[in-house]
Amino acid sequence: MQKSKAVTIQRHIVEQERLFPKATGDFTGLLWDLTLAAKTISREVNKAGLAEILGLTGEVNIHGDAVKKLDVYANERICKSMEHGGHLCVMASEENEDVIPIPDEFPKGKYVLMFDPLDGSSNIDANVSVGTIFSIYRRKTTGRDATIEDCLRKGMEQVAAGYIVYGSSTMMVYTTGQGVHGFTLDPSVGEFLLSHENIEIPSKGKIYSINEGNAHTWDEGTRRYIAYLKENDPSTSRPYSLRYIGSLVADFHRNLLYGGIFLYPADYKDPKKPKPKLRLLYEANPLAFIVEQAGGMASTGKERILDIQATELHQKVPLIIGSKEDVLLYEKFFNQK
Ligand code: AHM
Ligand code: MG
C-alpha cells in the first residue's frame, strides 16, 4: 500500500482532467456529483443496523415515511444526484428495466452513466461489505434525446469506471484510463483521500473466489481448473486459498490488492443453454476496465469482456477476472476439449 498523501478526490480528478488539454470540466463535475452520492449512500449503509432502514420497501417508519430498502435508496440517490448536473444525457441502472432519461427540466450533457447502485445487497443484514459500481461512456447518437443505443456499447469504449466499497472503511476506486486510484473516506471530514495510488494487481495470485456450491453446474473446464488450484504443488505455489464473500465489489477489491482470480462461470445444467449470472453493463464491464488498467485481465473464458458488443441492457456474461496469469490459465482449461 502506498503512503497516504492528503490529496482529496476532487483535486485528483481535476489533475487527471488537466492531462487532457481540451477538457471542459464537464467530466470533473460528473465524477464530483458521483462522489457526493457515494458519501450519502455510505452514511446510510453505516446506519444499516439501525432498525428502520432494514424494513421492507413500503413499510412505514416512525416518522410516517415509507421505509426504503438500501438498494432502492441507493438507486434513487444516484439518479437524483446525477440528473440535474447537466453532464449526462441518459442513465441505466441494474435496478431499472429500461433506460433512465434525464428529465426535460434539466440540461443534457454528453455522457452516459450506467451503474449497479448497491451490489451484494442481499448481504447487508449480516453487516457484510457491499458496493456501488459505475461505468461512464461518451454519448454516441446525435438526435435530440439519447437512446438505448447510447447504452448498448462495448466496454472498451468506457471513458471512466469505478466502484465504492462500503467495508470496514468506505473506499472509492476509479480509472479514467490513466491507471487505477483508490481513495478512503475520512468520515470525520467527509472527504475521500488518496490512499492507494496507481494500483497494480500482482500478475499471479494465491486466492480463488467462486461459489463452490454451484460446482454441480460447472462446465468441465472450470471443474478441472478449480481441482488444479487445490492440488498441493509447492513448486507452483498451490494449493490456492478460497476466499468468497459473495459480494462482487468486495471480492474483486481484495483480489485487486492481493492478486487472485474471481470466477462466476455460466450454469451448464442445460449444456445447450449456459446461464451466466452477472451483468455485462453494470458489473463486468466497469470491473474489466479497472482490472485491465491495473495490469490484470477479464474474460468470459472465450473472449475479452471489453470486446463484447452489448445487445441488451441486462445482458449477462460469465465473468473470470483478476491476475493476468491466473485468467490466462483458466482460459486454457476452459477451451481444452
Ligand atoms: P446482485 O446484483 O443481485 O447483488 O447480485 C450480484 C452478486 C454479486 O455481488 C456476487 O458476486 C454474486 O451475486 C454472488 O452470487 P451467489 O450468491 O450466487 O454466489
Ligand atoms: Mg449487482
Residue 100's H or E segment, with its range, is: strand 100-101
d(CA 176, CA 277): 27
Q: Whose CA is nearest to atom 2 of ligand 1?
A: 119
pLDDT band at 50 (very low <50, low <70, confident <90, very high): low
CATH number at residue 302: 3.40.190.80
- Comparing 228-242, 254-268, 278-292, which segment has the lowest mean pLDDT? 228-242
User: Does residue 240 carry a pLDDT above 60?
Assistant: yes
Residue 263 in contact with ligand 1 by CB distance below 6 A = no
Q: Are residues 47 and 129 in the same domain?
A: yes
Cell of 194: 488518496
Q: How many CB atoms lie within 10 A of CB 150?
A: 22
As for how many domains the chain has, the answer is 2
Say what the pLDDT of residue 142 is: 92
Q: Has 283 been labeled as part of a binding site?
A: yes
Final residue in a domain of this structure, among 177, 196, 215: 196
CATH number at residue 54: 3.30.540.10
User: Pick the catalytic residue: 17, 30, 34, 71?
Assistant: 71
Q: What residues make up the domain containing 274?
A: 207-335
Say what the pLDDT of residue 99 is: 97
Q: Are residues 151 and 87 in the same domain?
A: yes
pLDDT band at 62 (very low <50, low <70, confident <90, very high): very low
Q: Is 260 left (phi over 0), alpha (psi -120 to 50) or beta?
A: left
Is 202 part of any domain? no
- Comparing 55-59, 77-81, 119-123, 185-189, which segment has the lowest mean pLDDT? 55-59
- Cα 252 to ligand 1 centroid, rounded to whole Å: 12
| DSSP secondary structure string for all residues of 177-189 | SS-EEEEEEETTT
Is 4 part of any domain? no
DSSP letter assigned to residue 283: I
Residue type, 75: N
Question: 248 in helix, strand or coil?
Answer: helix
d(CA 199, CA 223): 31
Which CA distances in Å does 26 have to 82, 237, 330?
12, 47, 40
Residue 275 in contact with ligand 1 by CB distance below 6 A = no
Of residues 260 and 51, more confidence is placed in 260
Backbone angles phi, psi at 283, to 5 degrees: -120, -60
Say what the pLDDT of residue 22 is: 72
pLDDT band at 175 (very low <50, low <70, confident <90, very high): very high
Only one residue has cell 445487497, namely 121
- Cα 128 to ligand 2 centroid, rounded to whole Å: 15
Q: Has 116 been labeled as part of a binding site?
A: yes
d(CA 1, CA 91): 34
